[in-house]
Amino acid sequence: MSDVLPAWIAGRPVSSGETVEVTNPYDGSVVGAYVVPTVEQVHEAVAAAWAVRHELASTSAARRAEALMHVSRRIAERSDEIARLITGENGKPLLWARAEVGRAVSTFRWAAEEARRFGGELQRLDTDAASEGRAAIVRRFPHGPVLGIAPFNFPLNLVAHKVAPAIAVGAPIVLKPAPATPLTALLLGEILAETDLPEGSWSVLPVGNDVAPLLTADDRLPVVSFTGSETVGFAIQKAVPHKHVTLELGGNAAAVVCPDWSSDADLDFAASRIATFANYQAGQACVSVQRVLVDSSVWDAFVPRVVAAVEALPTGSPWDEATVVGPLVSEAAAVRVEAWVDEAVAAGATLLTGGVRDGASYTPAVLADVPADQKVVCEEVFGPVLVLQRVDGVDDAFATVNDSRFGLQTGVFTHDIQVAFRAHRDLEVGGVVVGDVPSFRADQMPYGGVKASGVGREGLRAAMEDYTYERVLVLSGIAL
């Protein structure tokens, strides 16, 4: 890989122009550099996507599936290189970078499989006498080119969740990676260039956020798929109400420890999982555990366990294979997290452990007795911070989960099947995980939230449906 990665305009590399360096959040070392496309090149990418839309939509499922499988295989073959690039530009420990690469291999493979299955359905219409001899074929067709705007926290797999379903349905994709972490997406462009997809089917534009409004406003990009902050996401939706906009905007995910989850083994398991997944990716995941609602009956037994589990997490250099908690994406992000925790403590919260910043690193913090109006409770921290809240019974716990602007996923630690089904019925979230943390995600399942957590769904089949619309073909005089 060259020191300066090219931008990708309509599938072609652009190697000359303004360059920007990317540094590692942990030690400030230069990871690499990339070419920034000009505004004219951005327009060229969009024009190419618009021009190729019909050709790409009419390609065979086999051709699109093979392109996706090629990407899956090549990511697997280059897995160590890609994981190290993710760690370099994002700062996430190699442990999690390797896991992300493995997920991206699966994401593209699932997209290939779904491309082959995305065939529509036949409906009999002769259920009424007036429609005798009629049938309908219902298929889905792309709205048109997709603008995918990806965040920094998963610079490969959340890019994959934009690119893979678009290719699967035959929709051109114009990808804008996060300015903090563009290198991994550009390497993915290198792999995409090895496929035989028509020219213009995809572009990777490492441009600044100031260029994003130009892209979102362009009517040649009728679908916008955005993952990122609530403020930006809803601003996009408001600016282009005529477009099909999907938003994954994060949340302040809760884990509920129910009264029946009370054995030593149960509590040890819950403490370990919650400690790990409150702090993996340095807490910079939309479904990292932020609030832990602990029933009063198990509070005294659980709290020291989870504090000990957090303190036992290996922290430090992301290049150390043993590190679980590395730096945040920038020192500014760590400063903000530090300020929020300090505000909570000043308001009366108890800091049980952690809460020390060193540059972009922040030792995992556990808080109790936090007033409900504090940012660490009611906003998305997006950092290594865990808030413990005492609740009395399942009703109180579920009401507390729902007392939030957000609704992405919730974990419910229970053995009671009735409680599990109640959680599925009553919790105002996009997903409920029973017996584990809310951070679990299988890449093929529908994934997304309600309320301020967004609209639409990721997960290959779900995203493919978001990128397409139903078109009905009615046949007459058919011998049914």
**Model pTM score:** 0.96
C-beta of residue 72 within 8 angstroms of C-beta of residue 115: no
From the candidates 286, 379, 380, 465, which is the catalytic residue?
286
- Alpha-carbon span 159 to 225, nearest angstrom: 11
Q: Which of 100, 230, 248, 379 is catalytic?
A: 248
Could you tell me if 194 and 70 are in contact, meaning their C-beta atoms sit under 8 angstroms apart? Answer: yes
Q: In this structure, what token pair is assigned to residue 410? A: 């919730």
> What DSSP string describes 319-376?
TSTT-SB---S-HHHHHHHHHHHHHHHHTT-EEEE---EETTEE--EEEES--TTSHH
Coil vs helix vs strand at 414 = coil
Identify the structural domains of the chain with CATH numbers, from first to last.
Answer: 4-249+454-472 (3.40.605.10), 254-442 (3.40.309.10)
Q: Clarify whether 199 is annotated catalytic.
A: no
- How is residue 225 written in tokens? 């798929």
CA atoms of 253 and 409, how far apart (whole Å): 6
Q: pLDDT of the chain along its 480 residues, tens only?
A: 458 999 999 999 999 999 999 999 999 999 999 999 999 999 999 999 999 999 999 999 999 999 999 999 999 999 999 999 999 999 999 999 999 999 999 999 999 999 999 999 999 999 999 999 999 999 999 999 999 999 999 999 999 999 999 999 999 999 999 999 999 999 999 999 999 999 999 999 999 999 999 999 999 999 999 999 999 999 999 999 999 999 999 899 999 999 999 999 999 999 999 999 999 999 999 999 999 999 999 999 999 999 999 999 999 999 999 999 999 999 999 999 999 999 999 999 999 999 999 999 999 999 999 999 999 999 999 999 999 999 999 999 999 999 999 999 999 999 999 999 999 999 999 999 999 999 999 999 999 999 999 999 999 999 999 999 999 999 999 999
For residue 100, indicate whether it is catalytic.
Answer: no
